[in-house]
Structure 1
Amino acid sequence: MRRVTRAVWRADGVSNGERAVPEETPVALTYNGTTHAVMMASPVDIEAFALGFSLSEGIISTPADILSLDVIAVEDGIEARMWIAEEKMAVLGARRRYLAGPTGCGLCGVESLAEAIKPAAQVTSRPVFAATTLLEAMALLGPAQALNHETRAVHAAGYFEPGRGLLAVAEDVGRHNALDKLVGKVARLDAEPAKGLLLLTSRVSIEMVQKAAVLGVPVIAAVSAPTSLAIRTADKAGITLAAVVRSDGFDLFTHPERIDLGASPRQAHVA
């Protein structure tokens, strides 16, 4: 973040002061010396971003597929320089997908409509979560958003496992970037995504569901609402989608069998 000067207008007058705002930096993701994507992102957790992006995009299958990863500050931004096996690079080159991603861009550079709406990976795990667990998990995410506390201008994604708590949080000016960073962080944890929850502070679009499916989480819990295409994609992928999660409840859109609705938060409090 950076602190900048500002003038503040209110009904009772004008004052001067400072405000914390998030940095936004071009981040080039390169493979074997070739730039594949340039995304505008918060310049933090870049290694996790590079790993998570590579997994989400299907460029690699496991973290071990990246032979080396260096984060280099350059004059115009940051480069995440990765080297992958030649067979992986050959597949990547054949896709001819070069991206220039503005903030919040999740499908920039996709060359066909079919590629944009390709089916998400199937999630088959069937854990059951108490409804109140979603509320408790989301309540933990807010205090963990250090950058957002300072700026009130970034998105967050979190990973929660019952019995273990909130294991990872990622923040970024772009919601897709935040989720990619989280995917990268979780990939390096002793975690079991098939038993966990994905927490989002943003709206849920198709790309977010596709990334969640790559992560392998059976449940998405989001503060904001989903798009209709996200709902259809989650349904087909076997993912439980809960949105508009607040302290007093949430909306459940797909695969409700994973959520034990039981007593409402208000009923549980009264009891």
Structure 2
Amino acid sequence: MTKSSNRSVERAFAVVDELAENGGGRVSDLADRLDMPVSTVHDYLQALVETGYVSVDENEYRTTTRFLEVGNRERHRLEIFKAVRDELETVAEETDEHATLMIEEDDQAVILAVQEGTDAVNLFAYPGARMPLHATAPGKAMLAHMSDARVSEIIDRHGLVAVTSRTITDPDVLYEQLKRIRQQGYAIDEGERIAGMVCIAAPVLDKSNQIRGAICVCGPRSRIDETRRNEIATVAQRAANVTQVNLDYV
């Protein structure tokens, strides 16, 4: 593929990202936000409409559920998604909180599956949502089982951006916490991505001891005291262990 072709693909996906981020848009607005000629944006949009990935109604363009179809196909191909089976639902039922299965992709934590317990807070979490690894309990659980060299590469590429006032932004503090996570077998984030929320995550390893993902439980700080944290950590670790065993038989 030529450089010009690469550039065209990058621009087309920039248009898609802009549509998804803003819930749609008109050609002129997209052109202004992306700093592209109106004619260029229009051509990309027309091509996306023809392929079914974008729809248009009264000059307002939006992404379609075709992307959801593509994502779901890939999700169901992943071994860890098959291996988690009923475990995530059990975690949500036992804790009454918000439970997620997350993986690492392109240096980010990505939600693969979500289950909500009876008391779960609406976190607007959905499969495919992405977030910084260092700012989440499952992200830190996964980082803890990567090599120091890999962690360093991720920090060099993306930095340690402050998502909230409690996000870890000092590499030395992060490395120290990753060491503690390996020792205790689970990770905690206390409002590091969402203020007022406590999240507890256990890593899912395969038989080669490679990190495959993390199972996480989130709830309001007011509900998750020290005793309950230990209980939730035990539930998450059990679910991660069952998922790890299931990976051998997928």
Provide the TM-score with structure 2 as the length reference.
0.28
Provide the TM-score with structure 1 as the length reference.
0.26
More strand by share: 1
More helix by share: 2
